[in-house]
């Protein structure tokens, strides 16, 4: 009963990617008003820019893999973090979860010599556990998720450190993963592209279906758009939020496992850069910090933009001391552009869809 209405609401917000019932008619105005358009222009813009500045090496497979590898790992975390942000919540604990899961995998299979799949499952299970804890605390206490997950980020880092020292006497651990695991998680395709790129593609497909096709997507938009309405419509808000926190922690844990296997070991202090980088990628991708608005295509574009800018600088031959400045300016430009396109998207009034006039 809710599905049809919510789908309409989402369509009006412009956040739906494909509307099966709509006639496939090309419409420039409609394209410009799609929420991903700003993010797409940003990605194409920086790609063209660095292709010109970076020259032939940037477009070679070594150059492309340079930013695609960075994007893939960031993307695996940014996708579920993006879902959470659409639902109006934040997850600042991904950094520590990444470090904790990579240390877990490395200690279990490296220091203790257990089969590598046991280590991988332990790492992922640890992620799910932290995610469930985040979700439970956020939904039960109503403390803002910013504070809850910040606290988790600190706590998990502390536990990881204390356990690592207690169990191994060291703050790093080395691991040499056996063959099926190495190929599936930590190898380089053609000596260049991380397998993480494929995992990212899978994650895009799954999350895309979840957000834009399944009814759960409607629930997520509804929770982020108007929590009280979502509640009165009977959406299991707490369940959805806990599931979302578990998925973002699972994403972080997966990247932790991938890095542990790819780089043959783990370190306690890894991962913190992902906390802000994932949020940045999601925001460049056009997701509103206040929730209720965004798309998977946008998040993917935001992740690519971030990675291209971050890595492109090394191919440009410019003074690398300026990297942070260039990154900052480009991010600001991307978000300003997104705001423009979002305003256009939200001003769109469909000619043949007079439903949901009261929303927003």
Partner 1 sequence: MSFTTKRWASLGALAFTAALVAGACNSGTPSTAPVSAAASEAPASQAASQGPASAAASGGAASTAPSSAPTQAAGGGTGKAPNIFVVGGKADDPFWSRVKRGAEDAGMIVKAEGGSVTWLAPANYNNLGPDAAKLLQTALSQNPGAVVGPDWVPDAEDAAFEAIVAAKVPLIVYNSGYLAAAQKVGALNYVGSDDNVAGATAGKYLASHGFKHALCVNDFPGASFAEARCGGIKQGMTSAGAQYTELPLPSSDYGNQTAVSQAVKAAILKDPTIDVIMTLGVSDEPAVQSAIDQANARSTVKAATFDMDTTTLQDVKSGKLLFTIDQQPYMQGFLAVSMLNQYVQWGLTMPQQPVLTGPAIVDASGVDAALAGAAAGTR
Residue 120 has φ and ψ, to the nearest 5°, of -65, -45
User: By CB under 8 A, is residue 272 in contact with partner 1?
Assistant: yes
DSSP 111: I
User: By CB under 8 A, is residue 199 in contact with partner 1?
Assistant: no
- Which residue in the set 335, 344, 346, 355 belongs to the binding site for partner 1 (CB under 8 A)? 335
Rule CB under 8 A: which of 168-197 touch partner 1? Answer: 169-174, 188, 191-192, 194
User: By CB under 8 A, is residue 269 in contact with partner 1?
Assistant: yes
Contact region with partner 1 (CB under 8 A), list: 11-19, 131-139, 145-153, 243-251: 145-153
Kindly state the smallest distance separating residue 266's Cβ from partner 1, in Å.
Answer: 10
User: By CB under 8 A, is residue 250 in contact with partner 1?
Assistant: no
Kindly state the smallest distance separating residue 284's Cβ from partner 1, in Å.
Answer: 9
User: By CB under 8 A, is residue 198 in contact with partner 1?
Assistant: no
Rule CB under 8 A: which of 281-320 touch partner 1? Answer: 283, 289, 310-311, 314-315, 317, 320
Closer to partner 1 by Cβ: residue 104 or 218: 104
Cα–Cα distance measured from residue 121 to residue 108, given in angstroms and rounded to the nearest whole number:
10
Cα–Cα distance measured from residue 334 to residue 122, given in angstroms and rounded to the nearest whole number:
38
Please compute Rg for the chain using Cα positions.
Answer: 21
Closer to partner 1 by Cβ: residue 327 or 346: 327
User: By CB under 8 A, is residue 122 in contact with partner 1?
Assistant: no
User: By CB under 8 A, is residue 150 in contact with partner 1?
Assistant: yes
- Helix (H) or strand (E) holding 188, with range, is strand 188-189
- For the record, the structure tokens of 133 come out as 């804890």
User: By CB under 8 A, is residue 332 in contact with partner 1?
Assistant: yes
Kindly state the smallest distance separating residue 291's Cβ from partner 1, in Å.
Answer: 14
Kindly state the smallest distance separating residue 36's Cβ from partner 1, in Å.
Answer: 19
Size of the site for partner 1 (CB under 8 A): 71
Total Cβ atoms within 10 A of residue 162? 11
Cα–Cα nearest to 39, from 299, 293, 313: 299
Q: What angle do CA 107, 112, 118 make, to 5 degrees?
A: 75
For residue 189, list its beta bridge partners: 193
Terminal alpha carbon distance of the chain: 21
Rule CB under 8 A: which of 51-90 touch partner 1? Answer: 57, 62-63, 65-67, 69-70, 73
Query: How many C-alpha atoms does 328 have within 13 Å on its Cβ side?
Result: 5
Kindly state the smallest distance separating residue 336's Cβ from partner 1, in Å.
Answer: 9
Residue 320: is it exposed, middle or buried by C-beta count within 10 angstroms (0-12/13-18/19+)? exposed
Closer to partner 1 by Cβ: residue 218 or 311: 311
């Amino acid at each position: 009963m809710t599905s049809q209405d919510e789908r309409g609401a989402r369509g009006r917000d412009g956040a739906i990617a494909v509307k099966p019932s709509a006639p496939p008619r090309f419409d420039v105005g409609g394209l410009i008003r799609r929420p991903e358009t700003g993010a797409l222009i940003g990605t194409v813009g920086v790609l063209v820019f660095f292709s010109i500045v970076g020259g032939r090496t940037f477009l070679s497979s070594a150059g492309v893999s340079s930013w695609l590898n960075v994007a893939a790992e960031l993307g695996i975390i940014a996708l579920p973090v993006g879902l959470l942000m659409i639902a109006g919540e934040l997850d600042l604990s991904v950094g520590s979860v990444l470090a904790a899961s990579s240390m877990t995998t490395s200690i279990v299979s490296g220091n203790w010599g257990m089969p590598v799949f046991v280590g991988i499952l332990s790492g992922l299970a640890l992620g799910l556990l932290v995610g469930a804890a985040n979700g439970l605390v956020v939904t039960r206490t109503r403390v803002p998720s910013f504070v809850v997950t910040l606290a988790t980020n600190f706590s998990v880092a502390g536990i990881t450190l204390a356990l690592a020292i207690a169990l191994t006497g060291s703050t790093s651990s080395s691991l040499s993963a056996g063959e099926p695991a190495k190929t599936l998680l930590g190898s380089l395709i053609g000596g260049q592209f991380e397998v993480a790129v494929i995992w990212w593609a899978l994650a895009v497909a799954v999350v895309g279906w979840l957000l834009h096709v399944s009814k759960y997507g409607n629930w997520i938009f509804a929770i982020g758009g108007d929590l009280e309405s979502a509640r009165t419509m009977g959406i299991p808000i707490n369940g959805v939020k806990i599931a979302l926190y578990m998925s973002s922690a699972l994403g972080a844990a997966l990247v932790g496992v991938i890095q542990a296997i790819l780089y043959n070991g783990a370190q306690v202090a890894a991962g913190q850069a992902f906390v802000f980088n994932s949020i940045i990628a999601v925001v460049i991708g056009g997701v509103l910090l206040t929730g209720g608005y965004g798309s998977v295509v946008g998040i993917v574009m935001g992740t690519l933009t971030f990675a291209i800018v971050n890595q492109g600088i090394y191919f440009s031959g410019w003074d690398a001391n300026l990297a942070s400045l260039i990154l900052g300016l480009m991010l600001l430009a991307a978000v300003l552009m997104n705001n423009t396109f979002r305003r256009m998207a939200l001003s769109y009034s469909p000619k043949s869809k007079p439903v949901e006039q009261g929303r927003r």
